[in-house]
Structure 1
Amino acid sequence: DGDGDGEVRLHFSIVDSGIGIAEEKLATIFDAFAQADGSVTRKYGGTGLGLTISARLAEILGGRIWVESQPGRGSTFHFSVRFGVDPQTTRQLPQLPGTRVLVVVDHPVGRQVVARTLESAGARVSTVDSGKAALALFAARSSAVDVVLLDGSLPGIDARTLAGQLRSTAGGAATPLVIMVAQSTPGDRERYRDLEMAIVLGKPLTGEDLLLSLARALDGGPARRPTRPGNLPATPESRPRAVLLVDDNAINQQLTTALLERRGHRVTVAENGLAAVERMRTGRFDVVLMDMMMPVMDGLEATRRIRAAELAGGKRRSPIIAMTANAMPGDRESCLAAGMDDYLSKPIRGEELQHLLVKHGTAGDAELHQGTAEVEASTGFDYAAAVAKADQETVALIAVAFLESSASDLETIRRGIANADRRSVASTAAALHGTLDIFGARPAVRLAHRLEQQSAYGDPPEMALLADQLAEQIDCLRRALKSLTDTPSAP
């Protein structure tokens, strides 16, 4: 919502299909260390600070946070924040006042999003959910249409066939078409070449992509997609990487290899997890793309063995990105628990793949071996200075709570190591990692992160050593925080 004074208020909502929250608990869940059920912390982990920090951040940003929930049916969290609008950087998008657009999309959410985008530009939008309905509308000539926006993956009919049928109707012969396909390639444009005034638009797309393409279609212009970061000239951040591709499917190998080589990367292929373990033993790669489901050895087991070998040999940690065709609840958690660094859903999209390579491809050179955290921890890090540089409002909000809870968190980690409860170690170390990062406590952050990584595959004695080192660094942080909290407030 805009208010005319150079600011806008944005409203976000996040749907959680989890256990839900009882009505009598809704008023307190944004308080520090308050949860709807104490067993939740024991079962799922967490410090109980996340919602408190989120509420405070929303307030600082001129908004608020609230929740709607029913036990057993999940929750919807809402928050609103205010942002300034810089008139110097605001791009003027094409406007379509009065333009009659027919949207043919079967997915209800996608259809609604597209319609809202077009309506915001002044278009008059009609929507149908199938090719059959679109053909019936044109055959009946019930309403004139200036341009048709057509989903390329409608059920029951090929988009090329539907486009041809629309062209054969009296009302559709001269109507511009914009066809959205899952992945736009030169071959897609060849398929629609004989359809005059047709633009092929590749997904995923933004509102800007959509409006610019419709404007070009109405102007009879060429099908030219806006420049994206993946199409920009090479930069140091997008330098070629050595990539190990682990996938047993020949077609997937060809597709992913083509996407990588098109961007200048060097690709080595391993046909299963066992072959990948051997490749990693004899070679060095900037990034590993690991399929989840493979014969001989799956991606999770291969990752565990690679991480164990890195640990035993003191090698640097190579980024491993999971690839899976069936994104199921818990998949991402399983990947991270096995030691993977990120997650990529199939079908693979070139821009998303490049983004992850840029994100993780530079991390390998900077990733330190096992002893790095210990070295950094022993160099006399100035925790008081780090806390002074952190956001003071957030520090004031959570300092006392951290002082009260950190000892029990460390005890939970030590007990988890002794009892081989790796899930407990991982969740508690992850929660500490996030809280320590707020204070800028770099040595402690690195140790907590290392402990979180080793919880899936590390040896208990090594994990115990890390826990002791983490405790030493947390003691240093606690002393810095105590001096802060013990300082009398100015009158």
Structure 2
Amino acid sequence: MGLKNRIFAWFRLRKELRQMRIWADHCPDNFQHRRYMMEAEMARLSNKHGLAQKRYSQAVNTARESGFLSDEALTNELAGQYYLMNGNEQVAGFYMRSAHTIYTRWGASAKVKQMEKHHGYLMADKKAVEEGDTDQVVSDLSSQSYISSDVLDLNSVIKASQVISGEIIMEKLLKNLMLILIENAGAQKGALILSESDKLVVHARIIAGEDKIVELKPQPLKDSKDLAISIVQFVSRSRESVVLNSAAREGQFVQDDYIRANRPWSVLCLPVIYLGGITGALYMENNRARGAFTPDRVRVLQYLASQAAISLENARLYNQLQESNQKYHSIYANAVEGIFQSSPEGTFISANPTMADILGYESSEDLINNIKDIGKELYVDPEDRKLFRSTIEKQEKIIEFETRFYRKDGSIIWISNNARIVRDLKNRVLYYEGSFLDITKRKQAQQSFEETMERYQLLMEASPDPITVYDPKGMVTYVNPAFINTFGWSFSELLGKQLDFVPVHEKDKTDRAVAQTLAGEKVLIESQRLTKQGILLDILLSAARFNDPEGNLAGIIVASRDITARNRSVKLAQDKHAAEAANEAKTQFLASMSHEIRTPMNAILGMADLLWETPLDREQKKYVKVFKRAGENLLGIINDILDISKIEAGQVEMEMVPFNLKILVKGICEMMTINASEKNLELDYRLHPDVPIALLGDPSRLRQILVNLMGNAIKFTHSGQVTLEVKINGDPAEKKPPDTEDLQFVVKDTGIGIPKKKQAYLFERFTQVDSSTTREYGGTGLGLNICKHLVEMMGGQIKVESIDGKGCKFIFNALFGTDPRAIIEIDESTPPQNLKPKVKSDITLEPLFLSILVVDDGQENRIVVRAYLKKTGYDLTMAENGQIGFEKYKAGSFDLVLMDMRMPIMDGYTTTRMIREWEISKEKKPVPIIALTAHALKEDKQKCLAAGCSDYLSKPVKKKDLLNMINLYKAPKEG
């Protein structure tokens, strides 16, 4: 068996002996003889012959007394081998014969034969054996012994190993280690080099001599002058041993500076390895002999080096533990927190001085000795104790548990407790350990702070402006109801979270504001924030930091004010102003355009009407019809443009006046019959029987829609028919709002139709089917768009159904009132455009002589009016402008005034106001003044009436309209 294996066997044997001694103490009858036998064998190995002889004898006798034949035979055999090995055949023969006899008695025939074969010469004398006088035999033993060199080496190694492994104090370990190594190595000097942070440091040196002084002064290897540095570095890198019998003459290190300078003979350097890692190196020298480090010495030193690696690591860990303990003890004794250990029964096991001081006790011992029940004697609220126990048992620990404790003098303090459970290997509670702080001042300040915050919170709750409170980490701790209402998040969605509602473009501004606020500045900025729904709001922000009772940052409070509406109002006002300016410019332009076109158009159409009344041949009538139609088309374009302008400006309002639907429809169809007959088209209309006739609504707008749709139908139909159908929209039994009827109008033709792909954008502005349609049929593409807007304003919708080449069907619905009280008496023979309430009186409407003042700067307009009224017998007085007109009015006596509103020198508005003022001053009855103006917007009519006009006619004025208006306002005579 090798040296290493023998050492391991020795330690195992020693371990087993300790267990055997325990068993022997508890049951000597069964185990005492085996204990003696093991102790005899260990004494033999340790060359303790007196003890070995005594234990062999005791083992034989106790085995015989206890009746263990096999153990008695084995012990005799081992004792015989011991004495035979030490050269005492006489005593050996006695024990061998005893073993032979017992094996024979036991029946172990194979063992008996083995003993007779190997030790037959010792079996001759059995007398002493048979008498059993073992003690007598032992006393005759010779004191001489034979001990092998291997046994001596083993004892030396065991002794050295025990010394090395038994020391954990680093300084003592290094000293003992160096002494043992120098003794076993046969060296003159040695050094122990250890690795520290990847650097080699010489920690111990020794020089052989009488004193054998060990020097413990750590020095970097590179600075060492008393050893071969290259050898140590090689061993450290390669982890291989270096043994040199003549270092100055052989090997790869002959050029080392130290070797060249000191020329040592024998050099030994061994790696010190722990768990596969290099711990250091052992360096030895002998300058008196070559080959001083024999293989046997090297093997011993290698083993000791391996043992040293373990012990060095243990010593290092022990040093760390000591340092940690010292550090802990210092922390424990000087900590500002109270530190404790308590038992599951509720008593203190340990407590540091700070804890005793917090609770008002003179010392830790005073606290531990006086508190017998923590729960009853310290806790002010027993429920807190229950909560503490239940929480720590569930979670194994508890963090910042706040409760109240009694001090020794009976006063009450607040403490914050951190604790955990410590358990044994069987998961049983050993004790509780933890720490606590006296937080009484903090709690008092916190209470005061909370009371203040509560007062502020009442104010914040009632504030109409959103308010947010953030902690120092930017987490939301509070939002008031106004914030929730404004931004849409609930309190639970925000509490303890960062509020991310700053749009990207506002981030830099917000970061600067936060920095200013944290610096103690008060901030007031305009910014923008996002609601939960993603709506961007304009916000006026004011922010300020607030501190806790200790003066540390407690958070930031931010008050917001939604100024979106204000900014929108400002912007709307600005936009409105700009739009109004633009609209005013457009209105002025359209008004001027309308005036400038309508003024000559008044003369053109007026002359066309007058010319039509004169005798004309067929060709002349054709020419008159052409330019009359061209003028009317131009007038239609102007009217469409004005309508679109009014729709865009929101100036179109629907009237609610009574009218007769049947008369309106009949009148339209009669008016359109002329155009239809020119193309040989059949024109018809149908009102379903259930359709109410008396309605409330805007008949002029309904007429405008129907005329446009039927005009288009006639225009795009070359043969066939055009029909208008009116019926109840939807199910007649369906419930509708009271006094309301939803009517559907259908204009159907057999014309050219509209392609499917063109129908989608047919109602868009300036849109026609294609450019060829515009060239062939004319038009601006505004009519259907105007119809769509008007239909929608009447509460309905419009659509088209068509097949290309097979005609169209335009369908729209509109809502009308049906209040029976709105029914008026209507003469069905009266043309629809001239519908007026009948006046019941005894006054006749026969023609009367009238004196009429015509005020117009346009000579052609004056000519047209004179021509219209030529056959009436009225007396006409002409004035070229308002100033002349006013003077003539004052000088004459007139029954009616026809007033152009736009004139040079003095316009019609001024003239009318001056006339009304003069009438009042003279107490004269107001004379009817009819405004004749090329301005055709609704506000123009209102402006005329506001100036004092009695009624309004827009140019171009038709003869029929003028005569009807004069007939309405002329003074009747009694019949």
TM range (shorter): 0.3 to 0.5
Which structure's CA Rg is the greater one? 2
The structure whose residues are more often strand, as a share, is 2
Bigger relative contact order, structure 1 or 2 (CA pairs below 8 A, ≥6 apart):
1
Q: What is the TM-score normalised by the length of structure 2?
A: 0.17
